[in-house]
Amino acid sequence: MLKVVEIDHLTIQYPDVKAIDDVSFTVNQGDFLGIIGPNGAGKSTLFASMLSLNTKYKGTIKFFGTDIRKSRNYLKEIGYVPQKPIFEKNFPATVNDVVKMGLQKESDENKIDEILQQLWIHELSKKRIGELSGGQQQRVFIAKALVNNPKVLILDEPVTGIDQQSIDLFYSILKELNSKQNITIIWSSHDLDAVNKLANHVACLNRTLFFHGESDDFFSNDDLVKQYSEASMQEHMHHH
Amino acid sequence: MTFEIFTFSFMHRAIISGIAIAILCSVVGLFLVLRRYSLFGDAIAHSSFGGIALGLMAGIYPLWTAYGVSIVSALIMTRIKDKFNISGDASIAVLLSSGIAVGLVIIGLSGGFTLDIFSFLFGSILLVSVNDTILILSLTGIILIVILLLYRQLLYSTFNEEQAKVSGVPVEKINYLIVFMAGITVVTSIQLVGVLLISALFVIPNVTAIMYGRGFKQTAIISMSFSIFSVVAGILVSYIFDITPAGTIVLIAIGIFACTMGIKSAGLLSRHH
């Protein structure tokens, strides 16, 4: 089985706290990995390192067998959808413009139409990005992430603040991408039910990794689920 | 009288240079406005004031020293801003005041050369020479080619730096390139509107066009059209009525902006409501 990501003894030290503490895990091709953990568990920090946005970490991160400190070529194979894409509300870019930004080769313009149709946003292609609803915007950013035919899709809590109908559509699209196109998906979420339904692997992160394995093993183990829920609840109370 | 002005060669040069500068300022300015860097052009222009004073004192053609000083100081300021995490508006204030301060001290040391300085402060488009026109056209051509070649990277890093980085865009290099292009654009445009009114050409046609355009290219074309109209009409009107071209150009641009706001408030550009 082809190893897509190998994370080995990853530690990220912030001035006052360890954001990630000695985390190791592997993601194989075709995995649909749900990374769950409470707010502040280090999910976004982990992703920032995996995407070379943060290079101040100890340990190694490999994509397709190559240390990402040595080459950033792996980024061409990755589609990334951030938690909430930040852009100027009045930015004069149409849906088509935004998806095209993700396109590495200008020649693939037909691909844009194809992706927009696949994500049911074809009729919006000439609208300004800032005029769309949150759910529609998120689909545009997925389209942008997919337009290069990535091997891996990395999604950081991608449904924050989106209506349920859009979420359901979004999940069915992810499921299809993973099962039909064999795209490896690494997806952080705090929605346990959704992870249970979609992911075939689960990683529980709360600065340290306290579970990583098949999702059936996690969800059939009441102790683990309870442990996760308690940790999550404590963190929740801590935050409020 | 009205048509006679089209027969003067100085007027041909002024209009040709003016159109080139109008296109340049609106395109480069669109990236600056969208990066919330609207006043950056102003800061570079003020730092070029130091460069102009330096050139006048040293007996070098002042625009050359202005190019050198403004580009170098803008790049240094960008580096300092990134390294020491200074906010964009504060770094603009530092750059702006240091340029003027250097200029004032140099002028004081050399006993003053007020006449020349005035043409740089307020522009002197009717005085552009053939050589100036060639330089303006060449620089405009080069910058437009660079923008066309790096269009996706420039647009993407302006839209969202983090995502552009993840897609492999060399965001830092692109940022420096934009600063570099802004430096060249500002100094090139000094002859048209002068140091004090540069940011008007960077900002006003663009904030107007953003209210009309949907996509980026459409917005850029609308902005260029407004900018060209303001410059050409400004040059002609100012000549006919014997008033300052720089002020007239900017007032026309502001007029278009005000009309657009009027149309928008009346609900005629309803998609933005």
pLDDT at B212: 92
pLDDT at A220: 84
DSSP states along A122-134: GGGTTSBGGGS-H
Does residue B249 fall inside a structural domain? no
**Do B45 and B203 touch, CB atoms closer than 8 A?**
no
Q: Is A42 left (phi over 0), alpha (psi -120 to 50) or beta?
A: left
Nearest-CA neighbor of A67 among A158, A25, A6?
A6
pLDDT at B120: 82
Give A-chain residues touching B165 at CB under 8 angstroms. Answer: 51-53
Structural domain that includes position B56: 4-196
Does residue B265 fall inside a structural domain? no
Nearest Cβ partner of A93 from B166, B215, B272? Answer: B215
Interatomic CA distance for residues B195 and B70, integer angstroms: 12
Tell me the nearest-neighbour CA distance from A152 into chain B, angstroms: 13
Instruction: Tell me which of B1 and B192 has the higher pLDDT.
Output: B192
Nearest Cβ partner of A131 from B215, B216, B271? Answer: B271
- The strand pairing partners of A26, in sequence order, are A6
Total number of residues shown for chain B: 273
pLDDT at A105: 67
Tell me the nearest-neighbour CA distance from B217 into chain A, angstroms: 8
Helix/strand/coil for A212: strand
Give B-chain residues touching A146 at CB under 8 angstroms. Answer: none
Rounded to an integer, the average pLDDT of A128-143 is: 89
* Highest-confidence segment of A31-45, A59-73, B76-90: A59-73
Chain A 49-108, CB below 8 Å of chain B: which residues?
51-53, 72, 75-76, 78, 80, 82, 85-88, 90-94, 96-98, 100-104, 106
Does residue B138 fall inside a structural domain? yes
Number of A/B CB contacts below 8 angstroms equals 72
- Give percent above pLDDT 70 in chain A: 94
How far CA B267 is from CA of A126, B136, B253, in Å, comes to 21, 40, 22
The answer to whether residue B272 scores a pLDDT higher than 50 is no
Contacts of B3 (CB under 8 A, 6+ apart): none
pLDDT band with cut points at 50, 70 and 90 for residue A240: very low
Give the best residue of B166, B216, B264 to mutate against chain A (max A CB count within 10 A). B166
Does residue B215 fall inside a structural domain? no
Interatomic CA distance for residues A47 and A188, integer angstroms: 9
Rounded to an integer, the average pLDDT of A96-114 is: 82
The answer to whether residue A213 scores a pLDDT higher than 70 is yes
The answer to whether residue A102 scores a pLDDT higher than 90 is no
Q: Does A237 touch chain B (CB under 8 A)?
A: no
The answer to whether residue A233 scores a pLDDT higher than 70 is no
Q: Please give the model's pTM, rounded to 2 decimal places.
A: 0.87
Interatomic CA distance for residues A93 and B163, integer angstroms: 15
Does residue B116 fall inside a structural domain? yes
Does residue B114 fall inside a structural domain? yes
Instruction: Flag if A80 and B155 touch (Cβ within 8 Å).
Output: no
The answer to whether residue B114 scores a pLDDT higher than 70 is no
Rounded to an integer, the average pLDDT of B101-122 is: 80
The answer to whether residue A232 scores a pLDDT higher than 70 is no
Rounded to an integer, the average pLDDT of B182-208 is: 91
The answer to whether residue A207 scores a pLDDT higher than 80 is yes
User: CATH class for domain A3-87+154-239?
Assistant: alpha beta
Chain B 168-227, CB below 8 Å of chain A: which residues?
168, 209-210, 213-216, 218-219
Structure tokens at A37: 């953990």
- Sign of the C-alpha dihedral computed for residues B200, B205, B208 and B209 taken in this order: negative
Mean pLDDT of chain A: 86
Rounded to an integer, the average pLDDT of A141-155 is: 90
Does residue B26 fall inside a structural domain? yes
Instruction: Flag if B165 and A52 touch (Cβ within 8 Å).
Output: yes
Least confident of A7-21, B56-70, B77-91: B77-91
CATH of residue B62's domain is: 1.10.3470.10
Domain count, chain B: 1
Total number of residues shown for chain A: 240
Q: Which residue of B has its CA nearest to A97?
A: B215
Domain residue spans in chain A?
3-87+154-239
The answer to whether residue B263 scores a pLDDT higher than 80 is yes
Nearest Cβ partner of A72 from B164, B168, B272? Answer: B168
Instruction: Flag if A78 and B36 touch (Cβ within 8 Å).
Output: no
Q: Could you report the per-residue pLDDT of A57-67, keeping only the tens digit for each? A: 999 999 999 99
pLDDT band with cut points at 50, 70 and 90 for residue A192: confident
Least confident of A59-63, B59-63, B130-134, B217-221: B59-63
Instruction: Flag if A104 and B168 touch (Cβ within 8 Å).
Output: yes
Contacts of B186 (CB under 8 A, 6+ apart): B41, B44, B45, B48, B70, B198
Interatomic CA distance for residues B229 and B205, integer angstroms: 10
Degrees to nearest 5, angle at CA A147 with A146 and A151: 50
Does residue B255 fall inside a structural domain? no
Rounded to an integer, the average pLDDT of A101-107 is: 75
The answer to whether residue A48 scores a pLDDT higher than 90 is yes
Tell me the nearest-neighbour CA distance from B211 into chain A, angstroms: 8
Please compute Rg for chain B using Cα positions: 19
**Do A43 and A35 touch, CB atoms closer than 8 A?**
yes
Interatomic CA distance for residues A134 and A163, integer angstroms: 8
Q: What order of strands is seen across the sheet that includes strand A152-156?
A: A78-81, A152-156, A184-189, A32-36, A201-206, A208-214
ipTM for the predicted complex: 0.84
- Per DSSP bridges, beta strands A58-63 and A66-67 are antiparallel
The answer to whether residue B150 scores a pLDDT higher than 90 is yes
